[in-house]
Amino acid sequence: MATGTEVLTLLIPNGGWYISGDEFENIQFLECDPITKAEFEAGFAKADKSNADQAKAKETAKAALLTKLGITSEEAALLLS
């Protein structure tokens, strides 16, 4: 589950906001245009998908790199130890 910070980072990437916890009522739009509560709450699904996409892309990139290097993940870990 994404955090309120991750949702606002996704929806208002240029910053200017403050949030305490994950509740819309605890957001302060200090130096940015405010969003609605509905937009904020819908943002959790978007943030979850974004996090999942980033994790998946990271795993894909790792696998491609290992293939390119011709080593296994265990061998890569050994190199980094």
Residue carrying the six token digits 């991750």: 6
Give the burial class of 42: count Cβ atoms within 10 A of its Cβ; 0-12 exposed, 13-18 middle, 19 or more buried: middle
> Which range binds another protein by CB under 8 A, 21-29, 40-48, 50-58, 63-71?
21-29
- Other CB atoms within a 10 A radius of the CB of residue 2 amount to 19
Length of the chain: 81
3 binds another protein (CB under 8 A): yes
Residue 29 backbone phi and psi in degrees, to 5: -90, 85
Binding mask 24-53 for another protein (x = CB under 8 A): ----x-xxx---------------------
Pick from 10, 11, 15, 47: which binds another protein (CB under 8 A)? 15
Interaction site with another protein (CB under 8 A): 3-5, 8-9, 12-22, 28, 30-32
